[in-house]
A and B are shown apart, each in its own frame.
Chain A
Amino acid sequence: DGGITQSPKYLFRKEGQNVTLSCEQNLNHDAMYWYRQDPGQGLRLIYYSQIVNDFQKGDIAEGYSVSREKKESFPLTVTSAQKNPTAFYLCASSIGDSTGLDEQYFGPGTRLTVT
């Protein structure tokens, strides 16, 4: 089955530790995205990548880092510099057409709790 997988579903970390969230897609999509969602709010864009070995900051990139070494993988690292890391993290992918209007497919999300 084609889709996006995120693991783990729940993640617990101590404050001061870096943590990496996994995102894999087998849809052969060029573009991938990371969003953050806080309770009762909409999604906010952290980083996005339109092609392998290239990525751009979104609205709230501070305290986060990404890599895009393979087309199917776009891991997100939440660093200790991120002041409020506890949130629901969502990964998405899309074909990546030139208009930027293509449908985004979302993974099931990872709920990160930092104490």
Chain B
Amino acid sequence: DAKTTQPNSMESNEEEPVHLPCNHSTISGTDYIHWYRQLPSQGPEYVIHGLTSNVNNRMASLAIAEDRKSSTLILHRATLRDAAVYYCILRDGNDMRFGAGTRLTVKP
């Protein structure tokens, strides 16, 4: 199964952009890249997903490398409520395999 690699933790200042990287060098052609985040003591929530092209929604942007071996989740202006663990997941069907994710700390 294709795996993802993310930094264990990152810090950001409030109201600054945050770029969360994810490496997935063994991604297959049919794998979609999904991002979820998990606030403390809560269930994960969907953030964004994409296949090849960059994607934007109200929560974030997803930049996907041309070779698809890496991607970056972009939070345009971090707020204290964005402090969470962010998971980058490759999906091909119902199976969603979570890694340990990146713990984002947002400093006021």
Taking a contact as CB atoms under 8 Å apart, the answer to whether A106 and B96 are in contact is no
* Distance in angstroms between the alpha carbons of A35 and B92 in the assembled complex: 18
Interface on chain B toward A: helix, strand, loop, or mixed SS?
loop
Which residue of B has the minimal Cβ distance to A31? B94
Which residue of B has the minimal Cβ distance to A111? B41
| B69-97, CB < 8 A from A | 87, 91-97
Q: How far is the CB of A43 from chain B (nearest CB, A)?
A: 4
Task: State which of B18-26, B44-52, B58-66 sits at the interface with chain A.
Answer: B44-52
* Distance in angstroms between the alpha carbons of A41 and B98 in the assembled complex: 9
Which residue of B has the minimal Cβ distance to A109? B43
Taking a contact as CB atoms under 8 Å apart, the answer to whether A43 and B94 are in contact is no
Which residue of B has the minimal Cβ distance to A98? B93
Number of interface residues of A (CB under 8 A): 26
* Distance in angstroms between the alpha carbons of A42 and B45 in the assembled complex: 13
A90 CB-CB contact with B under 8 Å: yes
Q: How far is the CB of A90 from chain B (nearest CB, A)?
A: 5
Contacts of A105 in B (CB 8 A): 46
Given the interface pairs A43-B44, A90-B43, A92-B43, the reply to whether A104 lies near B98 with Cβ below 8 Å is: no
Contact residue among A33, A40, A43, A99 (Cβ-Cβ distance under 8 Å from B93):
A99
Contact residue among B41, B45, B94, B98 (Cβ-Cβ distance under 8 Å from A100):
B94
Q: How far is the CB of A20 from chain B (nearest CB, A)?
A: 19
Contacts of A58 in B (CB 8 A): 95
Taking a contact as CB atoms under 8 Å apart, the answer to whether B91 and A100 are in contact is yes
Q: How far is the CB of B24 from chain A (nearest CB, A)?
A: 15
Interface string of A90-115 (1 = CB under 8 A from B): 10100000011101111111000000
Taking a contact as CB atoms under 8 Å apart, the answer to whether B46 and A103 are in contact is yes
A44 CB-CB contact with B under 8 Å: yes
Taking a contact as CB atoms under 8 Å apart, the answer to whether B41 and A109 are in contact is yes
B-to-A contact residues, CB < 8 Å:
32, 34, 36, 41-46, 49, 87, 91-101
